[in-house]
């Protein structure tokens, strides 16, 4: 039986707008496979575009081995970012989200399109700048309970994102070794390096360019995957990520 792609996309779209989490799709629709899940994701993005939102780039998920093992998959996934997800003043409004969590990431700003097949080196050549980023992930499924297909259908848990100032990506900057420290209300939460994202953040971006149904375009922003475990976002909480030689980014839950 074919999957009712549009109906599922509508359900997740409503779940997000009404901040009402739903039961994982895979618990109701065992026939939902990865291609169908990406079709649901694409239909969901069309709904957001119909609401007036514009695609500004892409995002990676499941980029750590720990997450892949927990999900029983051996590859990352991707989703799309829209302009409505960008938080410009660092104040993340909790009343627009269900159960948000925050992860530090390296964001890539592309000045050239990336058409498959591409390598990590191609990604770096097409990147004019990188920026520190805090991604607010939010699942439309109850208790963040999901299988890989659910997460893909749900646009890889995309919620919102806060960007720090971009810096030019120079060849001397080894993104695998760039250190990252995350502070929650001034206390250290965790540390990592860029290698936590699929061994190389640029390789994560390349994965999306090689697998996504739509190309990554010049001007797109791609966030390359969480580097540390997530921070639960609670009212008043301040989260800061410092990335060596890239800069800092901070958000406050409002």
Partner 1 sequence: MTVAEDVREQLAEALYRARLDRRPIPPLTETHPDLDLGDAYAIQQGLVRRLQQDGGEVVGYKLGLTSAPMQEMLGVDTPDYGPVLSSMVHDDGTTLLLDDHIQPRIEAEIALVLRAPLAGPEVSTLEAGRAVGSAVAALELVDSRIEDWRIGLIDTVADLASCAQIVLGAREVPVDGFDLRLTGMVVRNNGDLVDTGAGAAALGDPIAAVAWLANTLAPYDITLEPGQVIMTGALHKAFPVTSGDQVTARFDRLGAVSCRFA
Residues in touch with partner 1 (CB under 8 A): 65, 174, 176-181, 187-188, 190-196, 199, 227, 242-245
Kindly tell me which of 206 and 241 has the beta carbon lying closer to partner 1.
241
- Cα angle 203, 204, 208 (rounded to 5 degrees) comes to 110
Task: Give least dist CB 190 to partner 1, A.
Answer: 8
Task: Give least dist CB 147 to partner 1, A.
Answer: 25
Q: What's the CA gap between 139 and 147, in Å, rounded? A: 12
Task: Give least dist CB 180 to partner 1, A.
Answer: 6
Residue the block writes with tokens 């695609």: 55
Kindly tell me which of 82 and 224 has the beta carbon lying closer to partner 1.
224
Kindly tell me which of 11 and 199 has the beta carbon lying closer to partner 1.
199
Among 35, 41, 29, 49, which residue's Cα sits nearest to residue 157?
41
Kindly tell me which of 65 and 91 has the beta carbon lying closer to partner 1.
65
Kindly tell me which of 37 and 180 has the beta carbon lying closer to partner 1.
180
Task: Give least dist CB 243 to partner 1, A.
Answer: 7
Tokens of 147: 């299988």
Task: Give least dist CB 132 to partner 1, A.
Answer: 11
Phi first, then psi: what are they for 150, rounded to 5°?
-60, -45
Q: What torsion, rounded to 10 degrees, do the Cα atoms 96, 101, 105, 108 define? A: -20
Q: What's the CA gap between 123 and 110, in Å, rounded? A: 8
């Amino acid at each position: 039986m074919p999957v009712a792609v549009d109906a599922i996309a509508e359900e997740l779209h409503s779940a997000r707008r009404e901040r009402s989490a739903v039961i994982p799709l895979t618990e109701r629709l065992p026939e939902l496979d990865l291609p169908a899940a990406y079709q649901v994701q694409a239909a969901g993005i069309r709904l957001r575009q119909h609401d007036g939102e514009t695609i500004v780039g892409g995002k990676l998920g499941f980029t750590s081995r720990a997450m892949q093992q927990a999900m029983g998959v051996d590859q990352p996934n991707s989703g799309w970012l829209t302009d409505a997800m960008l938080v410009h003043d660092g104040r993340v409004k909790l009343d627009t989200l269900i159960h948000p969590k925050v992860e530090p990431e390296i964001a890539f700003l592309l000045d050239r399109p990336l058409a498959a097949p591409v390598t990590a080196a191609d990604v770096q050549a097409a990147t004019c700048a990188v920026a520190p980023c805090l991604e607010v992930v939010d699942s439309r499924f109850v208790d963040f309970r999901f299988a890989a297909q659910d997460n893909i259908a749900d646009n890889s848990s995309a919620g919102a994102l806060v960007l720090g100032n971009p810096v030019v990506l120079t060849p001397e900057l080894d993104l695998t070794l760039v250190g990252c420290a995350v502070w929650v209300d001034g206390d250290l939460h965790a540390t990592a390096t860029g290698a936590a994202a699929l061994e190389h953040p640029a390789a994560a971006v390349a994965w999306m360019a090689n697998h996504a149904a739509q190309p990554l375009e010049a001007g797109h922003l791609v966030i390359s995957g969480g580097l540390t475990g997530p921070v639960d976002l609670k009212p008043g909480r301040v989260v800061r990520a410092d990335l060596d030689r890239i800069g800092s980014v901070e958000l406050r839950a409002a």
